[in-house]
Copies of this chain bind each other. A is one copy, B any other.
Amino acid sequence: MKRNILLTLCLVLGTVSLLAQQVKSPNGNVELKFSLDGTRPTYEMSYKGKTVIKPSHLGLELAKDKHASRKYKETDLMDGFTVVDIKTSTFDETWKPVWGETATIRNHYNELAVTLQQKERTIVLRFRVYDDGIGFRYEFPQQKDLNYFIIKEEMTEFAMTGDHTAWWLPGDYDTQEQETQQTRLSEIRGRMKEAVNWGNSSVAVFSDTGVQTALQMKTDDGLYINIHEAACLDYATMHLELVDAKTTALTTKLQGNSNVYTPNPAPSAYPLPAPMTFVSHLTPDATGLKGAMQTPCETPWRTVMVSDDARDMLSSNLILNLNEPCKIEDTSWIHPTKYCGVWWEMIVGKSSWHYTNDFPSIKLDQIDWRSVKPNGYHAANNEKVKRYIDFAAKNGLDEVLVEGWNVGWEDWANMWKRDVFDFVTPYPDFDIKMLNDYARSKGVKILMHHETSSSTQNYERHLENAFKLMNKYGYDAVKTGYVGDIIPRGDHHFSQSMNNHYLYVIKEAAKHHIMVNSHEATRPTGICRTYPNLVGGESARGTEYEAFGGSRPDHTCILPFTRLQGGPMDYTPGIFVTKLSTWSDNPSWARITLAGSLALYLTMYSPLQMAADLPENYEQFDDAFQFIRDVACDWDDSKYLEAEPADYITVARKAKGTDNWFIGGKCDENGHLAVVKLDFLDKGRKYDCTLYADAKDAHYEKNPQAYTITKKVVKKGDVIKVKEAPGGGFAVSLIAK
């Protein structure tokens, strides 16, 4: 990786006047101002002269803590600051991701670093100003008087200029699998109850105006604003709490159906900011505290992306750029992957992860699996897995995910059970050696599955042996899962300690040359740049919810603006038979047309793409499945052609190492007329174009499987117009002749 980076580095260092505390982005569109409001650090931000963030305070409240440095141990990092140094610099570098939407990424920003002093303590506020937004973070140099400290709360403000439209998820310490809400900021409080999906396993809502990031907004004068974070490593995941007209104090009162009790720290002692201001709210650990810090250290980057063109929200690399370069020396074993798997039929309820119904609960060391009675519908059996391997081999899919292969599924979920899996013992009907040999003989790999049931202590105890087993049989990727409440008990999915755990697993996996696809983990913040073996993740409402009552048709037109800002999602697209009752007892149905399903392989960027439906369902529509066989999942270039949050997204991508392009367009329940100008093609070249479109009368509910396949030859400058049905979409392959 390192040797491939194209460096065009340019650093201008020097101390400037204390008055010149503002920095513009390289093209001048974005401007960042820093000042002291009395003694409180304050920033503001504008885009093309329009205010994006009004003056907003920066600071952290520290917990009273016997472990902290003795001096100032109870002094917050909120006020009492003077500016002692200011440095500006410029950085311009182009780097090559191991996998991604484009072959190279330019990282070009102007930087302002403000050193602040509070008595004997110093901190640094570092701002990076890009053409499409800003990132800033708190840095804590090593010093005698700020050595160890505990964060009670980070108090970073984001003061909005008005009552914007926002696409938000309710703030929650453990899940981000709710449906996105679209409201004005002032309507968040009123919508909260409806927004919380109480059916989820571990809902822990902390405030009536708490929301998650990435938070996508749109102003009435046409600005798109997105608040998120980058490089959240050994730090708690950030939420945002909106101060609105009814707010009387920042609240940390936990409510929900979780019985994990989190102590509520005392309320903030500082004045409330003005209404329409978001204040950061970190995920606590079991003690209610938000972070244990040792200097030298820093917070993640807090990011504000902005543009007057929604497409820029999708093409931005700001979050990746704010992450550290790749730390894995040899990345040759990391590869994009198209896969199918023994999964959807269990999600739908037709077969099971577990092997027997003999016991109300099990203890792994007390069961002779050879002697128990099989339930007869255990999915991960030799015959079925071979069927999937055959299907993958025939259709050019790289891997086959198999869930439910290992003992422990009889009572795995929501029991707060510690010793739930050992990750190495297969059920009697899963012959691990035979199946891996069989897969290898067909040029296919099996994709490992490690459901942890959120018992991270148990997973860490077994991790090394689990990875050794994978190495032994040739598995090179693992899907991990974190369903249910965390063990160590009292902790939350998005806390500092859990974020450390996820990263620990990624690093240990890298030592074994294993790629990771982490489900129910914390939402990503671009760390796949640094650890590109993190090839995917869930951390949002995925396709599985189509079997749990369904997701709104606009869901996949929102995710690229929100969840995908931090990294690719293992959305598991490709449901062709959307009415599940046609092959199961499940009355749920997917709110998407078949052509729309194809579009997701483009609009939901990921180097890891599943063909999630059953082989027999694909075999009914083999002409449409051709697109899934053909489509790439790694790219030299990407062009976002059309975009509006929750309405539509159209994107064209150039397949890695080829001259072929693929185009996908996805829309909401209202349909969309996509107009695709092929001006990105090579001049003078001809392309075999195959268009997979919704048929005229297609509709995500009434007629989802009505599609047309059209072939023609196209060239640069041609225009393709496609009518997308309600809840529909289209896909195009352009093969260079």
Contacts and interface: CB of A to CB of B under 8 A. Distances in A.
Given A294-B415, A500-B418, A66 B143 contact: no
A460 interface: yes
B488 A497 contact: yes
Contacts of A65: 259, 416
Contacts of A345: none
Nearest to A414: B67
A489 B360 contact: no
A415 B360 contact: no
Interface string A351-378: 0000000011101000000000000000
Contact of A416 (B148, B261, B460): B148
A485 interface: yes
A678 interface: no
Contacts of A500: 418
Nearest to A359: B142
A286 interface: yes
Interface string A246-259: 00000000000111
Contacts of A350: none
A292 B67 contact: no
Contacts of A335: none
B285 A489 contact: yes
A622 interface: no
Interface string A265-300: 000000000000000000001111100101100000
Nearest to A500: B418
A183 interface: no
A33 interface: no
Contacts of A414: 66-67
A570 interface: no
A259 to B, nearest CB: 5
B287 A490 contact: yes
Contacts of A504: 461
A363 B294 contact: yes
Interface in A610-625: none
Interface string A465-498: 0000000000000000000010111110000010
A508 B24 CA distance: 58
A80 interface: no
A511 to B, nearest CB: 12
Nearest to A202: B66
Interface in A317-365: 359-361, 363
Interface string A133-144: 000000000111
B361 A294 contact: yes
Contacts of A363: 294
B497 A489 contact: yes
A259 B66 contact: yes
A582 B38 CA distance: 58
Given A64-B259, A361-B142, A489-B286, A292 B148 contact: no
A457 B361 CA distance: 27
Contacts of A26: none
Contacts of A67: 259, 414-416, 485
A147 interface: yes
A356 to B, nearest CB: 14
A257 B286 CA distance: 18
Interface string A233-263: 0000000000000000000000001111101
Contact of A464 (B259, B285, B464): B464
A491 B363 CA distance: 24
Query: Which of A63, A150, A457 is the most central at the interface, judged by chain B CB atoms within 10 Å of its CB?
Result: A457
A417 interface: yes
A294 B417 contact: yes
A468 to B, nearest CB: 11
A415 B148 contact: yes
A689 to B, nearest CB: 53
A618 B500 CA distance: 49
Contacts of A285: 488-490
A144 B294 CA distance: 48
Contacts of A143: 360
Interface in A399-444: 411, 414-418
Contacts of A287: 259-261, 286, 489-490
Contacts of A294: 361, 363, 415, 417
Nearest to A464: B464
Interface in A554-611: none
Contact of A361 (B150, B263, B295, B418): B295
A288 B259 contact: no
A247 B447 CA distance: 61
Contacts of A261: 263, 287-288
25 contacts: A66-B259, A142-B359, A144-B360, A147-B360, A148-B417, A150-B416, A259-B287, A260-B287, A263-B263, A285-B488, A286-B286, A286-B488, A287-B489, A287-B490, A289-B489, A292-B416, A292-B417, A294-B361, A418-B500, A457-B488, A460-B460, A487-B497, A488-B488, A488-B497, A490-B490
Given A66-B257, A292-B489, 12 more contacts: A66-B414, A67-B259, A142-B361, A147-B411, A261-B263, A285-B489, A286-B490, A294-B361, A418-B497, A460-B460, A460-B461, A488-B491
Pick the 5 closest A-B CB pairs, nearest first. A488-B488, A286-B286, A286-B490, A287-B490, A67-B416
